[in-house]
């Protein structure tokens, strides 16, 4: 993902679900997995991955959805805030609260 091409959530390779399954189900990782997803990622994508993860590990929840914005272009020019990517924080240690953060904005529940 180069930031200039809108990539579909399901087109990312390796896929989020197979990687999450390896880490969380097969290796029984305890902690937080942060999936850096394309800017086109929506709540339906997050819900689908969440449900897959919960089918393997019911102690892992979605703690945070973080929308990360940039105000500087690759050439160093100032620009209006534009969405760069979406972070999905899945964790066995943090609460399953679906908090939503936008850079510089207060959090709210999804």
User: Which SS3 state, helix, strand or coil, does residue 95 take?
Assistant: coil
Instruction: Evaluate the CA torsion angle 5, 33, 27, 24 in order and state its sign.
Output: negative
The closest of 90, 99, 92 to 19, measured between CA atoms, is 90
Is the link from the previous residue into 31 a cis peptide, with omega within 30 of 0? no
Q: Classify residue 15: in a domain, yes or no.
A: no
Flag whether 2 is in a domain: no
With respect to residue 9, please indicate whether it lies within any of the assigned structural domains.
Answer: no
Residue 74 resides in a domain: yes
Q: What range does the domain containing 49 cover?
A: 22-109
Q: Is residue 11 part of a domain?
A: no
- As for how many domains the chain has, the answer is 1
Is the residue at 5 inside a domain? no
Sequential pLDDT tens for the chain (110 residues): 445 567 788 888 889 999 999 999 999 999 999 999 999 999 999 999 999 999 999 999 999 999 999 888 888 999 888 899 999 999 999 999 999 998 865 555 55
Domain presence at residue 16: no
Instruction: Look at residue 63 and tell me if it is in a domain.
Output: yes
């Amino acid at each position: 993902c180069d930031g200039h091409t809108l990539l579909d959530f399901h087109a990312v390779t390796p896929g989020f679900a197979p990687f999450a399954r390896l880490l969380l189900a097969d290796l029984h990782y305890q902690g937080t997995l942060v999936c850096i997803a394309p800017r086109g990622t929506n709540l339906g994508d997050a819900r689908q991955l969440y449900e897959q993860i919960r089918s393997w590990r019911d102690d892992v929840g979605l703690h945070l959805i973080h929308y990360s914005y940039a105000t500087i272009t690759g050439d160093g020019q100032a620009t209006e805030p534009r969405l760069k990517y979406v972070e999905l924080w899945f964790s066995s240690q943090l609460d399953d609260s679906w908090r939503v953060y936008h850079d510089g904005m207060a959090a709210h529940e999804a």
